Amino acid sequence: MDDLPLRDELRGKSPYGAPHPDVPVQLNVNESPYPLPEPLVDRIAQRVREAARGLNRYPDRDAVELRTALAAYLTRTGHHPLTAANVWAANGSNEVLQQLLQAFGGPGRTAIGFEPSYSMHSLIARGTSTGWISGPRHEDFTIDLDAAVDAIAAHRPHVVFVTTPNNPTGSAVDAETVVALYEAAQRARPSLFVVDEAYTEFSHRPSLLPLLEGRPNLVVSRTMSKAFGAAGLRLGYLAADPAVVDAVQLVRLPYHLSAVTQATALAALEHTDTLLGYVEQLKTERDRLVEELRALGFEVTDSDANFVQFGLFEDPQAAWQHILDRGVIVRNNGVPGRLRVTAGTPAENDAFLDAVRDLKKEQGA
Ligand SMILES: *Cc1c(COP(=O)(O)O)cnc(C)c1O
């Protein structure tokens, strides 16, 4: 690759990617452990079959039926009325975020995130030639509001990312903090403020969708990868003022969302009650992981997501390997002293807890 006439900012860089060895218990990338329920599989097959006959034509470029169904889901669960004009969908929320940075970031512009947070925010910034600013957090990983407001005032970013619940740390941000950051950002310059709610269905806090009222530069980003248990589908979406949706259409590729994807997502949206039932099971298992890890003497960050950050390890990579050697893969996100485990099935979580119990014994010895 070094011999290619590659863009300078990409030279010597590595692509995003968690290690993915084939082990029995996969608790590393925040997927749902549950296969899609059989009635939904049948409905997907039926809807895709119907779509297949029309694959000689381009798909609905504006995905109106899907955006209408997503708006209905958000209205029902987010306690804020939305229509298709407020909603945009793409291949995973990563593509939604990329489209936002293509439209609102880019060369000569900057974006800020409060780290540690979702590493794709900075990577998408790099890919779109948007300057990246790493904003501060407290030692306990909550947002340091005063320092964050200072950083926004000093750097005057064009795009602000707040992830709630945050990945990889797990805790949610309260609405007052988000409003204070939004106002600080708008004081600095008119900027786009993106709330990444990939894990909101797992949180004890309500979605921040009602904050969209009267805040034309606010965007809430969501995904079917986590709570819908459909990471393989690649469907993310946003809710915002209709003008933001119009702006994103300036940069989206025509027909970016295939007819097969649209049909599959529509089928999944017919089964939200079943899928959200799995979310309740996973929340119970997440709370059990927090409790049992604390009982074992680990330091555990409060979690509103489908994963738990735990430590402290002198050598997190060695601890990661120890757990892997027992057939369980978790994630080392590079947060000093800590690892992250996704909530799996009760049996998978038992296997994980056995592996860390072992580790604790060795460390204690
Ligand atoms: C997993 C995740 C996403 C989802 O990405 P998709 O492209 O929709 O699969 C977005 N934001 C955060 C913080 C995540 O952890």
Higher pLDDT, 2 or 84: 84
Res 215: pLDDT: 98
**pLDDT higher than 80, residue 242:** yes
* CB distance 192 to 104 below 8 Å: yes
Q: What is the pLDDT of residue 9?
A: 84
- Alpha helix (H) residue ranges in 189-257: 242-248
> Residue 14: what pLDDT?
85
| Res 364: pLDDT | 67
Position 10 scores a pLDDT of: 87
Range of the domain at 278: 8-30+273-363
Asked if residue 296 has pLDDT above 80, the reply is yes
221 and 131 within one domain: yes
- The amino acid sitting at 206 is P
Is the C-beta atom of 171 inside 6 A of ligand 1? Answer: no
pLDDT at position 365 over 70: no
Write down which residue in 237, 270, 303 finishes a domain: 270
Q: Are residues 312 and 248 in the same domain?
A: no
Taking only the tens place, the pLDDT of each residue in 105-141 is 999 999 999 999 999 999 999 999 999 999 999 999 9
Instruction: Specify the pLDDT at position 118.
Output: 97
User: In the predicted model, is pLDDT for residue 317 greater than 60?
Assistant: yes
At residue 363, the pLDDT reads 77
Stretch 170-177: mean pLDDT, rounded?
Answer: 97
Would residue 141 count as lying in a domain? yes
Q: Indicate whether residue 292 lines ligand 1 (CB < 6 A).
A: no
Q: Is the CB of 92 under 6 A from ligand 1?
A: yes
Substitution candidate for ligand 1 out of 226, 234, 331 with most atoms within 8 A of CB:
226
One domain for residues 193 and 339: no
The domain spanning residue 260 has which CATH number? 3.40.640.10
The reply to whether 151 falls in a domain is yes
Angle between helices 119-127 and 92-104 (to 10 degrees): 50
pLDDT in tens, 193-212: 999 999 999 999 999 999 99
The CA 93 to ligand 1 mean position distance, Å, reads 6
Please check whether residues 256 and 289 belong to one and the same domain. Answer: no
173 is a domain residue: yes
Q: Are residues 321 and 235 in the same domain?
A: no
Peptide bond into 312 cis (omega under 30): yes
The answer on 333 and 250 residing in a single domain is no
Rounded to a whole number of angstroms, the CA Rg of the chain reads 21
Q: Which of 235, 229, 290, 231 is nearest to 257 (CA)?
A: 235
What pLDDT score does 225 carry? 98
Does residue 281 sit in the same domain as residue 251?
Answer: no
With a 6 A CB cut-off, is 166 part of the ligand 1 pocket? no
Domain count, the chain: 2
pLDDT in tens, 51-74: 999 999 999 999 999 999 999 999
Same domain, 129 and 58: yes
Report the pLDDT value the prediction gives residue 113, as an integer from 0 to 100. 98
Distance 357 CA to ligand 1 centre (A): 30
**Predicted local confidence at residue 305, as pLDDT:** 98
pLDDT of 142 over the 80 cut = yes
At residue 235, the pLDDT reads 98
Q: Could you tell me the pLDDT band of residue 16, with boundaries at 50, 70 and 90?
A: confident
> What is the DSSP secondary structure assignment for residue 209, as one 8-state letter?
G
Helix (H) or strand (E) holding 134: strand 131-135
In whole numbers, what is the pLDDT of the chain averaged over residues?
96
Q: Could you give the percent of the chain with pLDDT greater than 70?
A: 99
For residues 254 and 340, state if they share a domain: no
Q: pLDDT tens across 159-168, in order?
A: 999 999 999 9
DSSP-derived 3-state class of residue 159? strand
Instruction: Report the separation in Å between the CA atom of 96 and the middle of ligand 1, taken as the mean of its atom positions.
Output: 10
Q: With bands split at pLDDT 50, 70 and 90, how would you rate the model's confidence at 84?
A: very high
- What's the whole-model pTM score? 0.97
Residue 290, domain CATH: 3.90.1150.10
Q: If you average pLDDT over residues 263-276, what whole number do you get?
A: 97
Query: Which letter does DSSP use for residue 26 in this model?
Result: E
Distance CA 75, CA 94 (A): 23
Residues 263 and 277 in one domain: no
